[in-house]
Structure 1
Amino acid sequence: MTTPSSERSPTPFSLRKIAVPAFGPSILYGIGNGAILPVIALSARELDASVALSGLIVSLIGIGSLVSNIPAALITSRYGEKRSMVGAAALSVVSLVLCIFAVHVWMLATGVFLVGVAASVFLLARQTYLMDAVPAYMRARALSTLGGTNRIGVFVGPFAGAALIHFLGLQGGYWIGLAAMAGAGLIALLAPEMAPPQRRSDRHAKPRVQDIARDHAKTFLTLGLGILLVSALRSSRQVVVPLWADHLGLGATAASVIYGLVAAVDMSVFYPAGTVMDRFGRIWVALPSALLMGLSLMLTPLSTGVTTFLLFSLILGFGNGISSGIVMTLGADAAPAQGRTEFLGIWRLIADIGNSVGPVILAGITAIASLAVGVSAIGTLGLGAAAVFWKWVPRKPTASH
């Protein structure tokens, strides 16, 4: 007997149908950031900045993002995801023009800082845009893919930049970044609006950030603590691998190969991890990722040769890879319907604080004790994050709707 059309199952949602508008800007933005990161310090040195000042200028991207998370939430809430992404891409282009034509170190510093500001707006708007576009039962896969495509872009960016740097000098990296970010803005401009009509009309009745912080303080102080710890862990790993390679006396080539292999593992597992989170629950990725990263860092000081160091590094890369979308997914799950963007702005602020303090903690402990003690201590943050996730992450998958 033929099933009436009204009783037939709806067509299953497919990420492929929205791949270009949903993930195209993310990979292009990642390429842009990846292209400029290796040349910022060198550009500062060319403008007669000291080594210390050059390092500070590189950190201005992270600082710009950190201080802009709450303003980014207010901008996205007021103007909507699509216009916010286009505006952020436009600001990125202007910022990179400043970097390209910088004649003074502070002109370069201003451009780099504004790149971080624009990134905060763009990434928050991209997350909320995708949350509108994807049903809840595919949320983790979508957000893991969002994080994964950005990582792929950051990985590809330096190679794309190197090709143009060969012909144009250091400015070539910025021109690649400018083109990639302009492309991200163009895709966002042409993409359809994903927010349903009722959400767009509700933007005028938005709660204040301080109200959201007060009403959801328990979530920020519990699950948010886990996010802060795992973010500190993830940012520290980027410092640990090259430093321990140097500690073992490995040459630059060997260290680069190991770093590349770790990145390859990192980028290969984000979608399967998202699938596991959607089907079985967030805990099945949140807990293993924190444990794997924490334990691998705690064991790294025991490595005395290339083989064991490579093994621990690959485990670290796998743990980081499966955690690709965990911060965004847990934030999306916890966010309220009213004040969602403001909630996510606070959530990103917590994660960015973790990203900032991780390497600082590593440097401080290393200066007081030793690199081995510093790396092991950073690894314990993974155990702390795992304990928080075990206590506070829901066991069941998010209900579909």
Structure 2
Amino acid sequence: MGLKSKLGAVFSSNLPKVYYELLFVGFSIMTGMSLSSSFLSLLADQLDPSGALVGMVVSAWFLSRIFLELPAGIISDRIGRRKLLVIGLGLAMLGPILCSQATHIYILIIGRSIWGMGTALYFMSNMALLMDILPVETRGSAIGMFQGIENIGSFIGAPVGALLATQFSFTKVFYFTIVFTLISFVVALRSSAMKDLTSNHESKHSLTFKQISGSLRNWSILIVCVCVLLRMLVIQGIFQTVLQLYLNKNMGLSVGDIGWVISMKVAGQIIFLLIAGYLSDKYGRKPVLAFGFGVGALSIISFILSKSFAGLLLSGFLGGVGEGLGITTLLALLTDIAPANARGGAVGLYRT
């Protein structure tokens, strides 16, 4: 089956209605979440000119997720995905409400912490639901399409948020985030298909916490999670931290030119998120993963050796290609190997 046929199957009636509802919810919440990405550090700096707590605004988001995702995944295997997903969207709405009223840095930190907790519950439950519903023959393509649509929402949200910030104020942009999150919350809350799906899951997998955690003692799952850990170290440590400093201080690029390099990376990621699933369905998960990791390593070498702006743009694109191939294929591989009675816990471990 070719790429066109695979994508046609994704958008045909072969997939359950809940997939398309999750697709809409994912696009909406990612668009809303990314609205503040272009100015969040500037807002934090305004509220805390000393800079001492600016880093906590970003860290609070991730710290709250780290300690919540694994237990939340195990809990979802007991009480169902939809309940935690709806609770997560509710918290993800409370977070920007607090941020919109931030007149002090501590309010912004608390808002970001609650927001991070909400997104942890949402993303974990969302991924586990996808693992429950996707048929093997289109699993990779469907996951790739889902992740691609989410990233398009994120790609759209950042410049739109920057534009809104120039027209209103930093804190007022969070009102638009609230609207996007509210739409996602209402769709998930009223979804009859999601209710039916989670009811069936609960009746099939009412296991004890000990049974669920025991199912996660699987070397294949642990290896996938180690791969995710190493990939995130590269993404966060090199591409999102060192790269910008290298391009500015060593290569002499302006902020605008760095933006073009990052945009090329995002473009490569989105394109290959959409087709990575098809490739992994056709050629297997491991070969596509190995190729993706190889392209990612090549992009780092290319950044070091490139002396021209065109070479840096190509290096950025290659970095995005490697990320796109890795993100989709690792999740598809986890879906293949995770026991049905412990998928929530597997997703929680994967995301932690």
| TM category, shorter | 0.7 to 0.9
Distance 1:74 1:49 in 2: 41
Instruction: Give the superposition deviation at 1:110.
Output: 0.8
Question: Given the two structures, how large is their TM-score scaled by the length of structure 1?
Answer: 0.77
What is the percentage of aligned positions where both structures have the same residue?
22
The question of whether the paired residues in 1 share the 8 Å contact of 2:302 and 2:312 is answered with: no
Alpha-carbon distance in 1 for matches of 2:245, 2:12? 40
Q: Tell me the amino acid that sits aligned with residue 243 of structure 1.
A: L
- SS, match of residue 85 in structure 1: helix
* TM-score normalised by the chain length of structure 2: 0.87
* Contact map agreement 1:31 1:180 (CA 8 A) in 2: yes
CA distance in 2, matches of 1:251, 1:29: 31
Residue 101 of structure 1 and its aligned partner are, at CA, apart by 0.9
Provide the rounded CA distance (Å) in 2 between the counterparts of 1:82 and 1:221: 26
Any unmatched runs of 5+ in structure 1?
Answer: 1-11, 350-401
Residue pair 1:207, 1:339 contacting (<8 A) in 2 also: no
Q: Is the 8 A contact 1:262 1:317 kept in 2?
A: yes
Larger Rg: 1 or 2? 1
Contact kept, 8 Å, 2:84 with 2:121, in 1: the verdict is: yes
Indicate whether 1:310 and 2:313 are aligned: yes
Shift of 1:27: 1.2
Q: Deviations over 1:269-315 (max 9, x none)?
A: 22221111112211232111111101211332222221222222221
**Residue of structure 2 in register with 1:286 after alignment:** 289
**Secondary structure of 2:197 counterpart:** coil
Q: In the alignment, which residue of structure 2 is the partner of 1:341?
A: 344
- 1:139 is matched with which residue? 139
Q: Deviations over 1:11-60 (max 9, x none)?
A: x9543554630311111121122112233222222222532421221122
Note if contact 1:89-1:122 (Cα within 8 Å) is conserved in structure 2. yes
Distance 1:343 1:317, change over 3 A: closer
Residue equivalent to 1:41 = 41
Distance 2:182 2:12 in 1: 23
Asked if residue 222 in structure 1 is aligned to residue 199 in structure 2, the reply is: no
Where do 4+ consecutive residues of structure 1 move more than 6 Å?
A: none
> Structure 1 CA distance, aligned partners of 2:133 and 2:325?
23
What SS does the aligned partner of 2:83 have? helix
86-95 vs 144-153, which moves further: 144-153
With over 3 angstroms needed to count, the CA separation of the structure-2 counterparts of 1:134 and 1:241, relative to structure 1, is same
Q: CA deviation at 1:139?
A: 1.2
8 A contact 2:75–2:344 mirrored in 1: no
Return the structure number with greater relative CO, CA threshold 8 A, min gap 6. 2
Aligned-pair Cα RMSD in Å: 2.2
- The 3 A distance-change label for structure 1 pair 322 and 147 is same
Structure 2 runs not aligned, ≥5 long: 1-7
Partner of 2:3: none
State yes or no: 1:173 paired with 2:173. Answer: yes
Q: Which 10-residue stretch deviates more, 224-233 or 202-211? A: 202-211
Aligned residue runs from structure 1 range 236-385, under 5 A: 236-246=238-248, 247-349=250-352
SS of corresponding position for 2:53 = helix
In 2: Cα distance, 1:307 partner to 1:280 partner: 32
Q: Provide, for residues 114-168 of structure 1, a one-character-per-residue CA deviation record: whole Å limited to 9, x for no partner.
A: 1111111101111122223321221111222222222111111122222322332
Q: 1:206 to 1:172 in 2, by over 3 A?
A: same
Deviation at 1:317, TM superposition (A): 1.6
How far apart in 2 are the matches of 1:227 and 1:318? 16
User: CA deviation digits over 1:151-197, x for unaligned, max 9?
Assistant: 11111112222232233200133122211111222222233126376
Give the aligned residue type for 1:15: F
In 2, Cα distance between equivalents of 1:222 and 1:96: 36
Q: 2:209 aligns with which of 182, 207, 210?
A: 207
Q: What CA distance in whole angstroms lies between the structure 2 residues aligned with 1:222 and 1:257?
A: 35
Per the alignment, do residues 93 and 198 of structure 1 end up closer, same or farther by CA in structure 2, a change over 3 Å counting? Answer: closer
Q: How does 1:61-76 map to 2 (within 5 A)?
A: 61-76=61-76
Equivalent position amino acid for 2:185 in 1: G
Question: Distance between the aligned counterparts of 1:224 and 1:291, measured in 2?
Answer: 18
Distance (Å, rounded) in 2 between the aligned partners of 1:303 and 1:266:
20
Please tell me whether the aligned partners of residues 98 and 111 of structure 2 are also in contact (alpha carbons under 8 angstroms): yes
Q: Is the 8 A contact 1:47 1:104 kept in 2?
A: yes
Q: When the two structures are aligned, how many residues end up with a matched partner?
A: 336
State the SS of the aligned residue for 2:339.
Answer: coil
Matching of residues 51-200 of structure 1 within 5 Å: 51-191=51-191, 192-193=193-194, 195=197, 198-200=200-202
**Are 1:231 and 2:227 matched, yes or no?**
no
Secondary structure class of the residue paired with 2:341: coil
